[in-house]
Structure 1
Amino acid sequence: MDWKFLQGLLSGVNKYSTAFGRIWLSVVFVFRVLVFVVAAERVWSDDQGHFDCNTRQPGCTNICYDYYFPVSPIRLWALQLIFVTCPSFMVVLHVAYREERERKYRVKHGENTRLYDNTGQKHGGLWWTYLMSLFIKTTFEVTFLYLLHYIYESFKLPRKVQCDVKPCPNMVDCYISRPTEKTIFTYFMVGASVICVVLNICEILYLIASRMVNLKHRGSVHTSSRRVRPDMDCDGCKSSLTS
């Protein structure tokens, strides 16, 4: 898989992100994509070839492997990385839409006119798009963590598994290659995913809090601009009484 292409696309998201979003992007590439490409793929590359069972029955080893590993963890992690990074493209597409509207507006009304003060500023529809992308990313992260725990019943890989699925003649013992090393990488990837979930939640809370503060500030400025001075109000009352 060409992870450089994915990195190039996500680099455009970085300039529109908050501080939490930039930390999230760093965690994804350093602790997830880089570890996945450099180490995790090699650790799990021999998972089926070194899955040994104490039987010579043809097809039993393959069936037992498929029974315990219906989806390879390395492929599940690859899907997880793709799904959790794709929602960020929503922000890039929305900014591109704004830039196109800005271009057409200037062509129609002149180069000195502006439709947006800053096409990448998170206000209006772009704020909602950014917030929605965070909710989608968090949902995907939690879903894949649940799937990983549900499929394998635990994040810790056992040294020995048993199965009696046909064509195995009876209860067969099978042994996983390098279970300790694979368990360590599993916990590492799960921990990195949990950190990303925490960062997404912090960014959601930060965006909502910032929006509430801005709305409160605008409301106070609008109220103060319409407020009438007390002395003028009293003069108005006196004039109404004398007329």
Structure 2
Amino acid sequence: MDWKSLEGLLSGANKYSTVFGRIWLSLVFVFRVMVFVVAAERVWSDDQGNFDCNTRQPGCTNVCYNYFFPISHIRLWALQLIFVTCPSFLVVLHVAYREERERKYRAKHGEHMRLYDNTGQKHGGLWWTYLLSLFFKTAMEVGFLYLIHHIYDSFTLPRRVKCGVSPCPNVVDCYVARPTEKTVFTYFMVGGSVACVILNLCEIFYLIAVRAVMLKQQGTVHTSLKRIHSGKKVRDVKI
């Protein structure tokens, strides 16, 4: 997987993000993608080859490994990183759509005319797109955390598992390669995911709070204008 290409694409969405979004992107690439590429893949590179069972029955080791580890942690984390970063592309696409509309509008009405004050400003539909992308990212993070915990029953990898699945002749003991090291990386990745969820929630509340303040200010301005116009009409009548 070419993570550099993904980073290049997300850097375009970074300039439209809030401060929480920029921290989130830094956290994803520094503490999750870098750890995933540099260390985590190597830690799990021998997970199946060094999964040993105390039997020589052909096929027993492979079946037991597939039974206890139906999906590799590495593949789940790769899918998680893809799914939580893809919603940011919706914001980039929406801004590109606005820029194309702006270009056509200027071509039709003249270069001095503007359809948007700022195509990347989070107002109207772009605000909703950005907010929905945050909800989707948060849902994906929580969903994958639940999925990992549900599949493996815990974030801690056991040192030994007992397996009685056919074609094993009886209940055999199987041993996981480097379980402590893998448990440490699992908790590190889970901690990074939880931190990203917290940042997403903070950004959601921040966007809603800023929008509420803006709407309140606009309502106050409209009310003041109405009062001014009403006052002028009363004075005109008296005169």
Q: What's the TM-score bracket when you normalise by the shorter of the two chains?
A: over 0.9
Aligned residues: 239
The alignment's TM-score, normalised by the length of structure 1, stands at: 0.95
**Runs of at least 5 residues in structure 1 that lack an aligned partner in the other structure:** none
CA shift at 1:228, angstroms? 3.5
1:95 matches 2:95: yes
> RMSD over aligned Cα, in angstroms?
1.5
1:40 alignment counterpart: 40
Quick one: distance in 1 between partners of 2:179 and 2:233?
82
What's the secondary structure of 1:201's corresponding residue?
helix
What is the Cα deviation at residue 163 of structure 1? 1.1
Unaligned 5+ segments in structure 2 are none
Alignment correspondent of 2:67: 67
Shift in Å, 1:71: 0.2
For residues 231 and 207 of structure 1, do their structure 2 counterparts lie closer, same or farther at Cα, with a shift above 3 Å needed?
A: closer
Distance change in 2, residues 1:107/1:232 (3 Å): closer
Q: Does 1:191 align with 2:219?
A: no
| Residues 227 and 143 of structure 1, relative CA distance in 2, 3 Å threshold | same
| Residue aligning to 2:110 | 110
Aligned position for 2:123: 123
Deviations 1:186-243, CA, capped at 9 Å, x for gaps: 000000000000000000000000000000001111111121389867756767xxxx
Q: Distance in 1 between matches of 2:91 and 2:119?
A: 11
Q: 1:174 is paired with a residue of what secondary structure?
A: strand
Identity %: 76
Do the aligned partners of residues 225 and 234 (structure 1) sit closer, same or farther apart at CA in structure 2, a change above 3 Å counting? closer
Distance 1:201 1:101, change over 3 A: same
3-state SS in 1 of match to 2:115: coil
Letter in 2 for 1:159: R
- Please report the TM-score for the alignment, with normalisation by the length of structure 2: 0.97
Matches of residues 1-243 of structure 1 in structure 2 within 5 Å? 1-228=1-228
Q: CA separation in 1, counterparts of 2:121 and 2:180?
A: 47
- SS in structure 2 opposite 1:227? helix
Structure 1's consecutive aligned runs of 4 or more residues displaced over 2 angstroms after TM superposition are: 228-239
**Whose Rg is larger?**
1
Residue identity opposite 1:86 in structure 2: C
Write the distance in 1 (CA, Å) between the matches of 2:103 and 2:181. Answer: 54
